[in-house]
Structure formats: structure tokens, C-alpha cells
């Protein structure tokens, strides 16, 4: 006997606006992520403007004011089709709500929520502005040195290892790491920034 299908809370059809319930154990892929109540609505030609589509696919968080994107995402960033090409939704939103901008500029988030498409949370900046904003907010993806989540050594230990004249096997035993780690530290492959 097959287990009973589990139901999830009702979703709203993007074409007709009616609520519908989908089963969670459907075949993975397009059916599990469907946004329409049925085949008729999925095949219906949609004449909604991009602005209406954004408002349909964004849920407003009452606490933060973020317009959380419910559509496609890549690395947490909202994605959508724009003029037949995939684009970051934040760039499309900026153009729709604030006007055109230089393609070399980045659309940055004040709220640090990559899925947010609220035009009031967005601002324009260069690549360097984006990096400075990231560093100022402590969002460096690949931390260096002892701040890296996989670091086994500290900066002081690395300096001591480099000045230690003993063979790598003995130094590795003292610090509780592999001999290849000591070789990588001494050659500069690891901890090269020191």
C-alpha cells in the first residue's frame, strides 16, 4: 500500500489568482515547483507587465520591509527574464522603478538580502563600492588566516613554524597537523598573505 500523499498549504496561481494545493511527493522538477493551478492556467498567455509580475512574485516582509523574491534564484539572488535573457531581478527592478543606468554599475543591497527586490533597499555602485560594502559589513566569503572556518593554525603559529629549523615531521607533531601542512606553510602555498 502506498503511503498517503502529504499536502502543503495552498499556493496562489499566478494566472488566475485562485488558491490551489499541490502534493509534496510529486515528481521532482517542474511539477514540484509549479506556480499554476493546472495546465490551462500554465498555457494561458499572460499579458501582465513586468512591474505586475514583480509585485506578484515578491512577498513583503513586515519586519524588514524587504520584497522577498519567490521566483527563480541563483546563489540567493533573484533572477528573471528580461528582453529574452536571464537577468538579476534587482537590475530589472531598478530600471523599472528608478530609471536607466550605466551597465558597468552594480545594483547593491542596503539590506544585505540578495533575494530582496524592494527598490528602496537598492542603490547603484561600482565593483569597488560593492567590495567595500561587503568588507565594511563583514561579509567576506573567503576569510583569510585564523578567521577562515577551516583554519587549524593561528598567525603566530605560522610565523613560529617558518622560523623553526627542525624537520617538518617533528614540527607537525607539535602543532597537531600533517607534515604536508607544514611544507605548504613553509613554501607559502598556505598562509601566503603573511
Quote the pTM value.
0.52
In terms of domains, do 38 and 55 share one? Answer: no
Q: With 60 as the cut, is the pLDDT of residue 28 above it?
A: no
Same domain as 131, residue 72: yes
Q: How many domains does the chain have?
A: 3
Q: Are 80 and 71 in contact (CB under 8 A)?
A: yes
Average pLDDT over residues 141-151: 77
Q: How confident is the model at residue 80 (pLDDT cuts 50, 70, 90)?
A: confident
Strand 85-88 and strand 77-82: the pairing is antiparallel
Do 124 and 173 share a domain, yes or no? no
Q: Are residues 97 and 115 in the same domain?
A: yes
Q: Assess if residue 194 is contained within a domain.
A: no
In the chain, the largest separation of any two C-alpha atoms, in whole Å, equals 76
Q: Do 75 and 111 fall into the same domain?
A: yes
The cell numbers describing 18, all together, are 485562485
Domain contains 105: yes
Mean pLDDT value across residues 107-113: 90
Summarize pLDDT for 6-27 with one digit per residue, the tens.
545 567 777 777 777 665 544 4
Q: Do strands 11-12 and 19-20 pair parallel, antiparallel, or not at all (unpaired)?
A: antiparallel
192, part of any domain: no
In a domain, 20, yes or no: yes
Q: Which three cell numbers stand for residue 105?
A: 554599475
- In a domain, residue 193? The reply is no
Considering the domain architecture, whether residues 133 and 168 belong to the same structural domain is answered as: no
Domain assignment present for 104: yes
Same domain, 56 and 137: yes
171 in any annotated domain: yes
Nearest-angstrom CA–CA distance, 190 and 116: 37
* Over residues 155-177, mean pLDDT: 93
Domain range holding 115?
49-141
Domain match, 34 and 68 both = no
Q: What is the pLDDT of residue 135?
A: 81
Amino acid at each position: 500500500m502506498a503511503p498517503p500523499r502529504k499536502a502543503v498549504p495552498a499556493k496562489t496561481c499566478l494566472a488566475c489568482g485562485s488558491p490551489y494545493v499541490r502534493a509534496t511527493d510529486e515528481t521532482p522538477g517542474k511539477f514540484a515547483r509549479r506556480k499554476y493551478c493546472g495546465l490551462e492556467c500554465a498555457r494561458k498567455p499572460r499579458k501582465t507587465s513586468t512591474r505586475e509580475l514583480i509585485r506578484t512574485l515578491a512577498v513583503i516582509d513586515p519586519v524588514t520591509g524587504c520584497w522577498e523574491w519567490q521566483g527563480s534564484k541563483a546563489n540567493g539572488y533573484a533572477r528573471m527574464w528580461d528582453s529574452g535573457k536571464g537577468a538579476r531581478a534587482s537590475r530589472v527592478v531598478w530600471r523599472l522603478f528608478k530609471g536607466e543606468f550605466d551597465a558597468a554599475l552594480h545594483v547593491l543591497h542596503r539590506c544585505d538580502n540578495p533575494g530582496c527586490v524592494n527598490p528602496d533597499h537598492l542603490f547603484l555602485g561600482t565593483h569597488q563600492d560593492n567590495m567595500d560594502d561587503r568588507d565594511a559589513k563583514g561579509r567576506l566569503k573567503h576569510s583569510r588566516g585564523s578567521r577562515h572556518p577551516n583554519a587549524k593554525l593561528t598567525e603566530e603559529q605560522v610565523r613560529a613554524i617558518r622560523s623553526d629549523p627542525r624537520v617538518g615531521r617533528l614540527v607537525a607533531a607539535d602543532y597537531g597537523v600533517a607534515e604536508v601542512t607544514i611544507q605548504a606553510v613553509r613554501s607559502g602555498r598556505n598562509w601566503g598573505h603573511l
